[in-house]
Structure 1
Amino acid sequence: MKNQLAMGAIMALLVPFVGHAQAAREAIIAAETAFAAQSAQAGTGVAFLANSAPTGLVTNEGKWANAQEVWKARPSQAGNYLSWYPVLADAAQAGDLGYTTGPWTSYKNNQPNASGEYVTVWRKQPDGKWKFVVDMGIERIGTAPAKVTTVPQPHLLPAAATPSTAPSNVVIDIDRRFAIAQQLKPGATYQQYLSSEARLYRPGLSMMQGAAAAANMKNLDGSYLFTPVTGYLAASGDLGYVVGNLTRPAGTKHPEENGSYLRVWRREAVDGWRVVLEVFNFTPGSQDAVAAPAPDKAPASGQLPTTPSN
């Protein structure tokens, strides 16, 4: 009887968190959809300025930059815009943080010009509105995933909400531990930390997902030096992100790589903290021996080409 009462009390505590997560996920999907619609109707620059938080980040030539500053300085061009849509979305149980990911297509003179994958991290602002805090993407090869009527969420259950008094420090410490372990045993560390639903995005490559992602990273040729810049953990302690800089010296099978990274961490019910999304952007000149460089843009879900070569 006591066990049943205890279980009932636990479930009662979890119900509000579950409700917050579902409502937040729906709000994030709506915000992303409205963001994309505004890009198509009013222009991508207008959309980015309206939807980015004051400290929101994008990548510009592989380096982190303030989204507001980048887009205020970028002139708009008729017929040049970007479209995208979410194919996956998740939110923290506290309802204060979430993300979406999906394909984007840039248009130049109203013609498709480039395509890739994006990740947008959303955070609820003090006024209750959702703004993005990180928007990052890559140009890729392969076919874009189809648009879906109902945007799915991860299949694996999150761990029970565990509020933290130092959210940023917690997720950055997790990311640092991963970075240190990865320097010693890169392939094994990725296999240990990747979620079975993980998505890895690399410029010029198709998305790596789930078992394929773990298999690809198993024989990683040389480790990366990851330097976290900032991050945030949801109040429920189950979802967070870290952005930072990366470098990898040239090896026998790869050129020197320099750039930035976004890593989304999720605390799963069975396996604990796992990487569910990881995106790399490289600075111009990086990876030349592997793939053509991304367009001269901050490759995110609204970054438009700025040079004639695009």
Structure 2
Amino acid sequence: MMNKFLYTLVAACMTTIGAYAQRTDGTTKSLVKTETEFAESLAKHGAKTAYTEFASANGLVFRPNPVNAKSYYAGQPESKNISWTPAYARVSRSGDWGFTTGPYTETGEKTSYGQYFSVWRANNSAKWELILDLGISHNKPLNKVTTQIIEPKDSYRPKFLNDRQRATGAEVIATTEATLSTTLKSYGIPAFAGFVNHDVRILFPGYEPILGKDKALAFFNSMFAKVALKTTKVDRADGGDLACSYGVATVDYKADLRESFNYVFVYESQADHTWNLIAMVFSPAVR
């Protein structure tokens, strides 16, 4: 009886510790800690256990197209052959929403490399939950990784924000993306110049991260002839400073080839109340 009591007590403590470890204290550091523990859980227990523990009930993984994370991994084995490290992370000033990205390595018959991208939101108990997860592959990296863990500039969370107000805020992002889509149709690839931030980060299959507006525009202008966006959903942090969208991008290359991608874009609010892109991820889609 005593052994059973002790076992129950230890199990309860471990559950409490795990839940506490995933809690947000309003800092980017807390999100990076959660992301690191997510990777450690996968290495120790396997992907099925890790995603079941860390993903939200409505969390999506792109494998390659978006599917519910918990449902998808319920039918997967406990694979432990992938590891990753956060290299860039941001959290909203409301402390309830953020993302991390960085290099991953997948071992097997042949080792493969790439970049992961994860979006997180805190639930009602302030516990970080994975809501979007995708990645791109590239050759063995040659560039040195510079880690940037960017803390919110201040702290702000509306006390009486309701679902209707959240929907109104999200509609602003949807309108911004619709404007981007229309501008791309009217003016072509140079239209990106009016929407990407100076520190934008591009993840595109076959390439290491493309960092900064100048390099991003040079990449787009050299590769793309046309881009068409079809937005599926948008999400905005309660702090009103960060937001994201995901959907399908149809890319016509200059090499007379068309390809479809699942995309995730992250926007940041600017001083003039416009929204600029700070992260753009293009992951191959199956249509």
For the superposition of Structure 1 and Structure 2, which TM-score range results when normalised by the shorter chain?
0.7 to 0.9
Query: Quick check: 2:42–2:50 contact (8 Å CA) kept in 1?
Result: yes
RMSD: 2.7
The answer to whether the Cα contact below 8 Å between 2:27 and 2:151 also exists between their aligned partners in 1 is: no
Q: Could you tell me the percent identity over the aligned residues?
A: 22
Q: Which amino acid aligns with 1:177?
A: T
The residue that corresponds to 1:102 in the other structure is: 102
1:154·1:197 contact (CA, 8 Å) conserved in 2? Answer: no
Superposed, 1:291-302 pairs within 5 Å as none
- Displacement of 1:44: 2.0
TM-score (norm 2): 0.80
The Cα offsets for residues 10-45 of structure 1, whole Å up to 9 and x where unpaired, read as xxxxxxxxxxx9833122111101101111111122
5+ residue gaps, structure 2: 1-23
Query: How far is 1:228 from its partner?
Result: 0.9
Letter in 1 for 2:118: T
Partners of 1:186 and 1:161 lie apart in 2 by 38
- Supply the distance in 2 between the matched residues of 1:213 and 1:191 (Cα, whole angstroms): 9
Task: Classify 1:137/1:125 alpha carbon distance in 2 versus 1 (closer, same or farther; 3 Å).
Answer: same
Question: After TM superposition, what 4+ stretches of structure 1 lie above 6 angstroms from structure 2?
Answer: 160-163
Determine helix, strand or coil for the equivalent of 2:225: coil
Contact 2:251/2:260 (CA < 8 Å) preserved in 1? yes
Alpha-carbon distance change, 186 to 140 in structure 1, aligned in 2, over 3 angstroms: farther
Match for 2:83: what amino acid? Answer: S
2:15 aligns with: none
- Matches of 1:147 and 1:35, distance apart in 2: 21
What does 1:92-241 align with in structure 2 at a 5 Å threshold?
A: 92-108=92-108, 113-141=111-139, 142-143=141-142, 145-146=144-145, 148=147, 151-153=148-150, 165=166, 166-210=168-212, 211-219=214-222, 221-241=224-244
Q: Contact 1:120–1:135 (CA<8 Å) still a contact in 2?
A: yes
1:254 is displaced (CA, Å) by 4.2
Any conservation in 2 of the 1:90–1:99 contact (CA below 8 Å)? yes
| Structure 1 residue 49, shift from structure 2 partner | 1.6
Deviation at 1:181, TM superposition (A): 1.1
1:38-77 aligned at under 5 Å gives the runs 38-61=41-64, 63-77=65-79
Measure how far apart 1:53 and its partner are: 0.7
Q: Deviations over 1:245-275 (max 9, x none)?
A: 12234x5514211131000011133784111
Name the SS of the counterpart of 2:226 in structure 1: coil
The alignment status of 1:266 with 2:248, answered yes or no, reads no
CA deviations on 1:264-293 (whole Å, 9 max, x unpaired) are 011133784111111111135x9xxxxxxx
Contact 1:190 1:218 in 2 (8 A): no
**Aligned-partner Cα distance in 2 for 1:194–1:213:** 8
Paired with 1:181 and 1:175, the residues of 2 have a C-alpha distance of 10
How many residues align? The count is 255
Aligned to 1:308: none
Deviations 1:116-166 (A, max 9, x none): 011111101112210011111100133364475xx42289x79x9898542
Q: Secondary structure at the match of 2:102?
A: strand
Q: Note if contact 1:170-1:233 (Cα within 8 Å) is conserved in structure 2.
A: no
Which 5+ residue runs of structure 1 have no aligned equivalent?
Answer: 1-20, 287-310
State the Cα deviation string for residues 77-131 of structure 1 (Å, max 9, x = none).
4xx421111111111111111111110111227xx62110111111011122100
SS at match of 2:49: helix
Taking the aligned partners of 2:242 and 2:207, their CA distance within structure 1 comes to 27
Higher RCO, 1 vs 2 (CA within 8 Å, ≥6 residues apart)? 1
For 1:95, give the aligned amino acid.
G
Cα distance in 2 for partners of 1:167, 1:143 equals: 40
CA 1:136–1:254 in structure 2 vs 1: closer, same or farther (change >3 Å)? farther
